[in-house]
Amino acid sequence: MLDNKFKWWQKTVVYQVYPRSFKDSTGNGIGDLQGIIEKLDYLQELGVETIWFSPFYPSPIYKPYSQHDCGYDISNYKEIHPEYGTMEIFDNLVKEIHDRDMKIVLDMVLNHTSIEHPWFKESRSSRDNPKHDWYIWRDGRKPNGKKPPNNWNSMIGKAWEYDPHTDQWFYHAFLPFQPDLNYRNSEVQREMLDTVRFWLKKGVDGYRLDLINTLFKDAQFRNTPFVFKLYSEDGDLFFRSSEMTINLPDTLEFCKILRATIDEFLDKFLVGENNASLKILKTYLGDMSKDGISHDGLNLVFLFQSMNTPMKPKRFRNLMQMYEKWFPYPYTPTWVFGNHDQMRRITKIGDNFNKAKINAVLQLTARGVPFIYYGDEIGMKEGKASKKDSRDAISHHFNWIPQFIRNIIGKYGIYMNRDGCRTPMQWDDSENAGFCPPNIEPWLPIHPSFVKRNVNREEKDVGSLLNCYRKLLKVRKENLALQIGDFALINLKKLNKICLTYHRIYEKQKIFVYLNFGNKELFLLSPIQKPQLIFSTLPNRKALNLKVYNGNIKLTPFEGIIFK
Ligand code: GLC
């Protein structure tokens, strides 16, 4: 493997910023672009290389809030929502990011617009309107058309909405105020590809593609067949197969068109959001091209399989084996433990900092591109999001479900109020955690843990989670093997139950990662004669001192080390 064979996005570490919650520079309790610019030095010092921004495009006012699905319901694809700033500030953001030798990735919501988008308003104005066909409209079932056109589901249940004005039904893959665009209409395709080009011309380095698996639906609108599954990774839901609405071959073909579009520019990239089995996910990367190292589909896809993996070495071992099976080099897996739709990882793992450190080592040393969710580096935990005060559109949609049932469902990993993972970033221990000025009500309550868990405090503490991330990112940057090296698990037999061990190899460099998930001290025979410690989750550990331990490597409880 030669270094120059690798593209920047194969080696990078991505950090997701949720703009609304990162830093408020105007004093209205809502994060904004200028606030992000003020914090770029922090991100550079942290050591992340690419920043992915959740949407900051205009999204309609929905009383009493603006931004109904927080930007995933777009009403203008080529503007900045006034709450976040102006196009001038955006251009400056791109420049400031590039000046720091970092990359910027935007979120692109191709599947649907807001119900308030002028296109949809035109579309629903009459059946003859030229934009009518831009969305998916159908007559209802006979005799009087008052039943939905077919039995399709959306991801949240009902998929068809009746519109009395046109006496037709429109389709939505997500929430009812997010009507799906009709990708079988060539004008829609042209317009959306133009949107993709618009921001690339402005200098952005790529896109995270929202719900990319739902773009095309069955052209004949056939009913979805029955499957004996309440739920499946590939989108089957409530005993209905997803084959008429999700992962259609036309969608895969369109991903190739998207790829060809970004390839009109130099060095851009696409990562797709698509909840699916590894087998299906792989198909989104397209076919191997003649050079044997690149594909003609998306560059990366999120592998969400890690998201709910418990802190058990065997579970990670299996997962890593699966990733290597389905995504061997030159495929690049992704490592994702949190995002704006998921409960905070640290809360899932019992709010345990030792485990969070092990998790961080794994994420930043396994083969693949890591995606870090803002605040995970300081151990931000899940906010208490009650149904009553919720801001999240999903929570509103399921308002009829009583809180106690939500709590029970939550135990099974179904997340009904995403406010909990979207609370403002905790910068310091002042009132409002340095996110917005004191005496202002932030758009979501600051998590009470901010007094102890904040950037300012953790920067000064050598043993903090933040400093663990910083060191790890530095070690990763200094060692190509950790970025792009081959990966192999090391078999410790019985000890595989409590310890996860693997190595990464790049040319002559071999790097070992040993992670002790247990609460017992371990002594493991060193795989090499003179191992040199390059990282430990213990801040004060400087060496391995094999002689002291009879040629063994000592691992203290919950310690993760990297050596070469
Ligand atoms: C994606 C986004 C989510 C959004 C939904 C609809 O899953 O991550 O936040 O609500 O799509 O666009």
Both tokens of 484, joined, read: 């792009």
Both tokens of 48, joined, read: 């992340």
What are the phi and psi torsion angles at 208 (to 5°)?
-100, 125
Helix axes 186-201, 249-262, angle to 10 degrees: 30
- pLDDT over 50 at 1, yes or no: no
Atom of ligand 1 nearest to the CA of 69: 10
Q: What is the pLDDT of residue 62?
A: 61
Q: What is the mean pLDDT of residues 284-311?
A: 89
Both tokens of 348, joined, read: 């899932």
Residue nearest to ligand 1 atom 4, measured at CA? 72
With the most atoms of ligand 1 within 8 angstroms of its CB, the residue from 113, 302, 341 to mutate is: 341
Q: E strands along 293-417, which residues? A: 300-301, 334-336, 369-373
Considering only residues 64 and 228, tell me which one the structure prediction assigns the higher pLDDT. 228
Q: What is the mean pLDDT of residues 102-130?
A: 97
152: CB partners within 8 A, 6+ apart = 159, 160, 171, 217, 221, 223, 224, 240, 244, 245
Q: What is the mean pLDDT of residues 289-298?
A: 78
Atom of ligand 1 nearest to the CA of 339: 8
Q: What is the mean pLDDT of residues 257-273?
A: 97
- Residue in 420, 346, 431 with CA at minimum distance from that of residue 389: 420
410-440 b/e (C-beta count within 10 Å ≥ 16 → b): eeeeebbbbbbbbbbbbbbeeebbbbbbeeb
- Residue 211 Cα to ligand 1 middle (Å): 7
Both tokens of 49, joined, read: 């290389």
Q: What is the mean pLDDT of residues 512-540?
A: 96
With the most atoms of ligand 1 within 8 angstroms of its CB, the residue from 68, 72, 113, 419 to mutate is: 72
- Residue 144 Cα to ligand 1 middle (Å): 34
Q: What is the pLDDT of residue 14?
A: 98
366, 320 in Cβ contact below 8 A?
A: yes
- Residue 425 Cα to ligand 1 middle (Å): 20
Q: What is the pLDDT of residue 526?
A: 95
- Residue in 127, 125, 122, 147 with CA at minimum distance from that of residue 137: 127
Instruction: Please state, in angstroms and rounded to a whole number, the distance separating the CA atoms of residues 366 and 205.
Output: 24
3-state SS, residue 449: helix
pLDDT in tens, 318-367: 999 999 999 999 899 999 999 999 999 999 999 999 999 999 999 999 99
Question: With 0-12 CB in 10 A as exposed, 13-18 as middle and 19+ as buried, what is 33?
Answer: buried
546: CB partners within 8 A, 6+ apart = 526, 531, 552, 553
- Residue 560 Cα to ligand 1 middle (Å): 34
With the most atoms of ligand 1 within 8 angstroms of its CB, the residue from 16, 56, 62, 69 to mutate is: 69
pTM here is 0.97
Region of poorest pLDDT, from 111-125, 219-233, 267-281: 219-233
Query: What residue has token string 């698509």?
Result: 274
Atom of ligand 1 nearest to the CA of 175: 6
Atom of ligand 1 nearest to the CA of 393: 10
238: CB partners within 8 A, 6+ apart = 153, 157, 230, 231
Beta pairing class for 334-336 and 369-373: parallel
User: ∠ CA(460), CA(463), CA(464), 5° rounding?
Assistant: 65
- pLDDT over 70 at 368, yes or no: yes
- Residue 216 Cα to ligand 1 middle (Å): 17
Residue nearest to ligand 1 atom 6, measured at CA? 72
> Which segments of 334-437 does DSSP mark as H helices, in order?
345-348, 353-365, 393-397, 403-411
284, 272 in Cβ contact below 8 A?
A: yes
Considering only residues 287 and 92, tell me which one the structure prediction assigns the higher pLDDT. 92
Residue nearest to ligand 1 atom 12, measured at CA? 72
- pLDDT over 60 at 3, yes or no: no
109, 55 in Cβ contact below 8 A?
A: yes
Residue 379 Cα to chain centre, angstroms: 17
Instruction: Please state, in angstroms and rounded to a whole number, the distance separating the CA atoms of residues 267 and 177.
Output: 35
Region of poorest pLDDT, from 78-82, 287-291, 436-440: 287-291
Helix axes 353-365, 465-478, angle to 10 degrees: 20
- pLDDT over 50 at 2, yes or no: no
pLDDT in tens, 40-49: 999 999 999 9
- pLDDT over 80 at 86, yes or no: yes
Mean predicted lDDT score pLDDT of the chain: 94
pLDDT in tens, 121-173: 999 999 999 999 999 999 999 888 889 999 999 998 899 999 999 999 999 99
Query: Which residues contact ligand 1 via a Cβ below 6 A?
Result: 69, 72, 109, 174, 210-211, 273, 340-341
Q: What is the mean pLDDT of residues 476-494?
A: 97
- pLDDT over 50 at 537, yes or no: yes
- Residue in 10, 137, 20, 7 with CA at minimum distance from that of residue 72: 20
User: Residue 413: which region, alpha, beta or left (left: phi > 0; alpha: psi -120 to 50)?
Assistant: left
Considering only residues 64 and 24, tell me which one the structure prediction assigns the higher pLDDT. 24
- Residue 551 Cα to ligand 1 middle (Å): 52
551: CB partners within 8 A, 6+ apart = 525, 526
pLDDT in tens, 411-449: 777 888 999 999 999 999 999 999 999 999 999 999 999
Residues assigned a catalytic role: 210, 273
- Residue 513 Cα to ligand 1 middle (Å): 35
What are the phi and psi torsion angles at 458 (to 5°)?
-70, -25
Q: For a pLDDT cut of 90, what percent of the chain falls above it?
A: 84
Instruction: Please state, in angstroms and rounded to a whole number, the distance separating the CA atoms of residues 214 and 260.
Output: 20
Instruction: Please state, in angstroms and rounded to a whole number, the distance separating the CA atoms of residues 502 and 317.
Output: 9
What number of CA atoms fall less than 13 Å from residue 556's CA on the CB side? 9
- Residue in 347, 341, 351, 310 with CA at minimum distance from that of residue 415: 341
User: ∠ CA(413), CA(246), CA(399), 5° rounding?
Assistant: 45
Q: What is the mean pLDDT of residues 257-280?
A: 96
Question: With 0-12 CB in 10 A as exposed, 13-18 as middle and 19+ as buried, what is 284?
Answer: buried
Q: What is the pLDDT of residue 157?
A: 87
3-state SS, residue 213: helix
- Residue 400 Cα to ligand 1 middle (Å): 21
Alpha-carbon separation of residue 419 from 345, 412, 523, 535 (angstroms): 14, 18, 43, 35
